[in-house]
Amino acid sequence: MSIFKALVPKMSLKRPLAIFIMGVSGVGKSTIGSLLAQQLTVPFFDGDDYHPETNITKMKAGSPLNDDDRHPWLTALNKLAKEQLQKNSCIIACSALKESYRTTLHKDIEANVKWVLLDGDYELIHKRLKKRSAHFMPDSLLRSQFDTLEDPIEALKIDITLRPEEIVRVIEEELFEKSEIGVIGMGVMGKSLARNLASNGFSISLFNRHLPGKEENIAAKAVQEFKELSDAKPFDSLQAFVNSLQRPKKLLVMISAGNAIDSIIHELVPLLSQNDVFIDGGNSHYDDTQRRIHLLSESDLHFIGAGISGGEEGALKGPSIMPSGNKEAYKLIRPFLESIAAIDQNNDPCCSYIGPDGSGHFVKMVHNGIEYAEMQLLAEVFEVFRRSGENNDEIATSLEAWKATVNSYLLEITIDILRKKEGNDWLLNKILDKSGNKGTGNWATMASSRLGVPSTMISAALFARYIASFKDERITTSELYATKIAPYRVDTDELRKAYEFARIINHVQGFKLLYEASKAYNWSLNLSDIARIWTNGCIIRSDLMETLVQVLQISKDILLEASFISKIKSLYPSTTKVVSECILHEVPIPCLSEALNYFNGYKTKNSSANLIQAQRDYFGAHTYQRLHDPSGKAYHTIWKNSSTHD
Ligand code: 6PG
């Protein structure tokens, strides 16, 4: 999160910058730095002036500095940059050769730091250094500096064969006339994320395609409509949009998942160059993301798949963000994503690097799977209350009281929905009971099936939506199979306990799916950190998620954690009672009952799977193992006359 919001005089940016002019000795850091500072009327600092005396003595004696020597120097420069940023922008000349040095230099101020690498070949720099007499750096150290330099992909690289005035002009043009990031797609999410980026002081370009008669001047209209976007540059030409971005170019793409992403990649690749980053912020399938990462890497480009949760409001005020792909490339976009993300209880951003490949989109897909089951559980609770004769206001009042024990964003919005009136009636009563879906619940179900993980609550919630979609058939069967159902009044507290139980099982299953995927695909997912970035900004944020951050630090299996064992034991009797009563009274509760069935199955020591194995062996000679033979030997039986073979 950017901590400096002051307006910078002269520059077009809304936040001050510390511009580090970096490179090996002899590239002209001080010359360029002071020229640039004059041009921008901001202070210039030569990093060499901040070396402790011991370092200067060491260098004069011809010995290279080690990392321990450099540490106090880098920390002093970081402190200097922080102090300056409180007042204004500044320019600092500093070699900053290693990534770890740059990490120290930009500590806590990453979003306000820009790197400019003065780039030249050894021979040229060597010649320049030889001409210098007053400098304390002997040219014999130049080779070691070249060897130490770790490629700063985040830096604007400028060829030192240009004249100093030209170099300064390029820096000005790149850093102050061009935009730091571009947003493609001015739909609800794209527009809101663009506004969020602009509110955080980033300079942005906006692109929306031009479809005559359908989508015309969309980006320009967004700039007119929202005051935060008044400095944004709007485009409907992709080439001009790309040209308006600073190098390496960062593009946040917010368009429909699927073919549209492949089409825009196809158009963009010829316009981009090495280290540019394409961020797909939509709900793309993780396999597609994986394929696109490979495709772009062939052109030395980066593709980051970033799951973004929180809907329109989250996108505008702070979503939860789940980015994955090349870890180096993530560093290029980290300041942007972490600045716009929601913050957790400790003020840390609800955004962190998830892992390689399409793991970010996988994690977002599981988020949505959990979301499906959470929504379905609330729908079932609503149905149970309704069958108990309560009206929407009464249900809202009961749910209001539940906030003390089982609060979540989805519970809160459900209460609002239940209370919403249109005329004399509740709006909810006028909504057609056919639920839609955009596919992520389906993908989560397929992924769990592919991995052999029983995410039964996600699939139950998905199939409940599918059942609901067959409205005409439901009308017919409701008449054909009409029965006289005995009146049923649920005990509110017992229903609350069943709901709490089912929510725990939903999270157990969701994190189990993540754990197994991480193992199968070698993603090294940090489950606790994923829970942490789901504590704010996203749709499934809840008190339970806060608790899970700690639990998942200790154990990957929530069901084995002591506090959950006692909690589940205390909720279990009410869950059994509520589920049984609902079934007796014909209330459809696929998710509540699945939570119980899953749990009962999971705690059954000797299951009926022995019969399944025998059946498989009977008709297909698939063999089976025996309980009392730990060797795992395969047995086959001729079942009709009962003879057994090894
Ligand atoms: C979010 C949501 C968001 C959206 C999904 C689910 O995290 O902000 O999950 O991504 O609501 O598209 O949509 P469906 O319910 O239509 O599948």
Q: Report pLDDT digits (tens) over 560-602.
A: 999 999 999 999 999 999 999 999 999 999 999 999 999 999 9
Nearest residue (CA) to ligand 1, atom 4: 311
Determine whether 371 is an active site residue.
yes
**Residues paired with residue 18 on neighbouring β-strands, in sequence order:** 90, 113
Q: What angle do CA 482, 485, 489 make, to 5 degrees?
A: 145
Give the atom of ligand 1 at the shortest distance from the alpha carbon of 310: 8
Ligand 1 centroid distance, CA of 439 (Å): 9
Q: Which residues contact 200 (CB under 8 A, 6 or more apart)?
A: 1, 2, 15, 111, 339, 340
Q: Are 254 and 316 in contact (CB under 8 A)?
A: no
Asked whether residue 1 carries a pLDDT value surpassing 90, the answer given is: no
Nearest residue (CA) to ligand 1, atom 11: 311
Ligand 1 centroid distance, CA of 368 (Å): 6
Q: Are 306 and 281 in contact (CB under 8 A)?
A: yes
Q: Are 366 and 440 in contact (CB under 8 A)?
A: no
Burial class (CB in 10 A: 0-12, 13-18, 19+), 266: exposed
Asked whether residue 12 carries a pLDDT value surpassing 60, the answer given is: no
Asked whether residue 442 carries a pLDDT value surpassing 70, the answer given is: yes
Task: Return the CATH number of the domain spanning residue range 179-355.
Answer: 3.40.50.720
Domain 8-176 belongs to what architecture?
Answer: 3-Layer(aba) Sandwich (3.40)
**Residues paired with residue 91 on neighbouring β-strands, in sequence order:** 19, 44
Task: Give the pLDDT score at 127.
Answer: 85
Determine the Cα–Cα distance for residues 285 and 137; give it in Å rounded to an integer: 53
Q: What is the dihedral of CA 395, 396, 402, 403, to 10 degrees?
A: 170
133 falls in which pLDDT band (50, 70, 90)? low
Ligand 1 centroid distance, CA of 210 (Å): 27
CB atoms within 10 A of CB 284: 25
CB atoms within 10 A of CB 635: 14
Q: State the DSSP H helix or E strand holding residue 418, giving kind and residue range, or none if neither.
A: helix 409-419
316, 438, 459: residue to mutate for ligand 1 pocket, most atoms within 8 A of CB: 438
Task: Give the pLDDT score at 126.
Answer: 87
Q: Among 26-40, 141-155, 497-511, which is the least confidently predicted range?
A: 141-155
Determine the Cα–Cα distance for residues 271 and 249; give it in Å rounded to an integer: 10
Burial 131-170 (b: 16+ CB within 10 A, else e): eeeeeebebebbeebeebbeebbbbbbbebeeeeeebbeb
Asked whether residue 451 carries a pLDDT value surpassing 90, the answer given is: yes
Give the atom of ligand 1 at the shortest distance from the alpha carbon of 372: 15
The pLDDT of 384-399, averaged and rounded, is: 97
Asked whether residue 535 carries a pLDDT value surpassing 50, the answer given is: yes
Task: Give the pLDDT score at 135.
Answer: 56
Determine whether 364 is an active site residue.
yes
Asked whether residue 482 carries a pLDDT value surpassing 80, the answer given is: yes
**Residues paired with residue 322 on neighbouring β-strands, in sequence order:** 307
In eight-state DSSP terms, residue 247 is S
Task: Give the pLDDT score at 61.
Answer: 83
Nearest residue (CA) to ligand 1, atom 10: 309
pTM of this prediction? 0.93
Encoding tokens for residue 407? Answer: 């609060």
Q: Which residues contact 540 (CB under 8 A, 6 or more apart)?
A: 309, 367, 370, 371, 374, 408, 409, 410, 534
Q: Are 538 and 310 in contact (CB under 8 A)?
A: yes
Q: Which residues contact 608 (CB under 8 A, 6 or more apart)?
A: none
Using CB distances shorter than 6 Å, the residues near ligand 1 are 283, 309-311, 368, 371, 436-438, 440-441, 538-539
179-355 has the same fold as 8-176:
yes
Percent of the chain clearing pLDDT 70 (strictly above): 96
Determine the Cα–Cα distance for residues 140 and 123; give it in Å rounded to an integer: 13
The pLDDT of 273-299, averaged and rounded, is: 97
Q: Among 4-13, 392-401, 597-606, which is the least confidently predicted range?
A: 4-13
Nearest residue (CA) to ligand 1, atom 7: 309
Asked whether residue 9 carries a pLDDT value surpassing 60, the answer given is: no
The pLDDT of 464-471, averaged and rounded, is: 98
Q: Which residues contact 517 (CB under 8 A, 6 or more apart)?
A: 359, 362, 366, 447, 451, 453, 523, 525
Task: Give the pLDDT score at 620.
Answer: 97
Task: Return the CATH number of the domain spanning residue range 364-602.
Answer: 1.10.1040.10
Determine the Cα–Cα distance for residues 499 and 497; give it in Å rounded to an integer: 5
Of 364, 374, 380, 581, which residue is the catalytic one?
A: 364
Q: Report pLDDT digits (tens) over 304-354.
A: 999 999 999 999 999 999 999 999 999 999 999 999 999 999 999 999 999
- Domain ranges, ordered by start, for the chain: 8-176, 179-355, 364-602, 606-646
The pLDDT of 612-638, averaged and rounded, is: 97
Average pLDDT, the chain: 94
Q: Which residues contact 103 (CB under 8 A, 6 or more apart)?
A: none
Q: Where are the alpha helices (DSSP H) in 177-323?
A: 188-199, 218-225, 238-243, 259-268, 286-297, 311-317
Q: Report pLDDT digits (tens) over 483-497.
A: 988 888 999 999 999
Among 545, 480, 488, 477, which Cα is nearest to 511's? 545
Give the atom of ligand 1 at the shortest distance from the alpha carbon of 314: 8
Asked whether residue 642 carries a pLDDT value surpassing 70, the answer given is: no
Q: Among 131-140, 440-449, 471-480, 508-517, which is the least confidently predicted range?
A: 131-140
Q: Is the peptide bond before 487 cis (omega within 30 degrees of 0)?
A: no
Ligand 1 centroid distance, CA of 319 (Å): 13
Q: Report pLDDT digits (tens) over 51-84.
A: 999 998 988 887 878 899 999 999 999 999 999 9
Give the atom of ligand 1 at the shortest distance from the alpha carbon of 441: 17
Encoding tokens for residue 169? Answer: 């002009």
Of 371, 374, 380, 594, which residue is the catalytic one?
A: 371
Task: Give the pLDDT score at 8.
Answer: 39
Nearest residue (CA) to ligand 1, atom 16: 437
The pLDDT of 263-291, averaged and rounded, is: 97
Q: State the DSSP H helix or E strand holding residue 529, giving kind and residue range, or none if neither.
A: helix 527-533
Ligand 1 centroid distance, CA of 504 (Å): 21
Give the atom of ligand 1 at the shortest distance from the alpha carbon of 436: 16
> 256 to each of 3, 253, 283, 331, 360, how far by Cα in Å?
33, 9, 8, 25, 17
Encoding tokens for residue 630? Answer: 């730990």
Task: Give the pLDDT score at 10.
Answer: 43
Ligand 1 centroid distance, CA of 367 (Å): 9
CATH entry, 606-646, from 3.60.60.10, 1.10.10.1100, 1.20.5.320, 3.40.220.10: 1.20.5.320
Determine the Cα–Cα distance for residues 553 and 49; give it in Å rounded to an integer: 45
Q: Are 624 and 635 in contact (CB under 8 A)?
A: yes
410, 440, 458, 466: residue to mutate for ligand 1 pocket, most atoms within 8 A of CB: 440
Q: Are 180 and 201 in contact (CB under 8 A)?
A: no
